[in-house]
Amino acid sequence: MMRFDARALFGGALSGLAGGLFGVGGGIILIPLLTGPFKLTQHQAHGTSLAIIGATAAVSLLIYALHGNVAWVTAAIVGFSSIWGARWGARLAARTSAGQLGRVFALFLVIVAVRLLWKVPAGGEPPVVGSVTGIALNLGIGLAVGLLAGYMGVGGGILAVPAFTLLLGMSQQVAQGTSLAVILVTGPVGALEHHRHGNVVTRLVAPFALGAVLGGPLASLLAQRLPQETLVRAFAVFILANAANLWLRAERQRRQPASP
């Protein structure tokens, strides 16, 4: 039991470091760990990941907020609309086969890696969200982020951060802080929907969340001070390695029923 707890704490700390550093929930770290060493099914990994990432978002968000790097109005609008998207995404995931879900997630990780390798645009002035167009854009981003979060078992930050920088003109740090505020909504909502389908392994949530609480603030502090380019590129390579491993595992699962 002690070994199990240590592994869960370490895995949670890794997800917390990724979440705090890049403004994501850490699901792209958690899901390969949960389906690998912890032997969860793909559906269980997605639901359990969503139950854990709320802790990462909460502690990391505090650091970003103390440095003034959260656009609260945008977070509120996007978070509100993401609730519906997260529920739809979780329901869609429950209807998808485990092998297919694994391949979809592997492709998603490749897209994430390409996104992280791409040069991040420079941030401009704080976004204006008071206009009808601005509100509609934020609502649309929220629906997309929530759908991705509920379906993929991640916080949605991989979509939210580039949307905030490219569409709303936020700086990278403000985009990441605002993303964490949204994840604080999408994570629990998606987890509750997955729990209704029996896809949250509750015994793993506490030790992973504790590790995330330890790792998240440290990485968030680094994100306020250090240049991101080298770390982002290294992280993208790690994601590509996980995507390849996940795809191969999904392919083995697909061929297994055909074997006598």
pLDDT at 258 (0 to 100): 45
Q: Whole-model pTM? A: 0.78
| 3-class SS of residue 36 | coil
Q: What is the 3-state secondary structure (H, E, C) of 35-95?
A: HCCCCCCHHHHHHHHHHHHHHHHHHHHHHHHHCCCCCHHHHHHHHHHHHHHHHHHHHHHHC
Residue in this structure with the two tokens 């485990």, named with its chain if needed = 98
Contact of 253 with 99, CB cutoff 8 Å: yes
Tell me which of 1.10.150, 1.10.3470, 1.10.287, 1.20.1250 is the CATH number of domain 2-258. 1.20.1250
What is the Cα–Cα distance from 122 to 107, expressed in whole angstroms?
A: 27
Domain boundaries, the chain: 2-258
pLDDT (tens place) for every residue of the chain, 260 residues total? 444 578 888 989 988 988 888 788 787 788 888 988 888 887 888 889 988 988 889 999 999 999 999 999 999 999 899 888 888 887 777 777 666 767 877 888 788 778 777 765 455 555 555 677 778 888 998 888 888 777 776 667 777 887 887 788 888 788 889 999 998 888 888 888 888 888 899 899 989 999 999 999 998 998 888 765 765 676 677 778 767 876 876 776 666 654 44
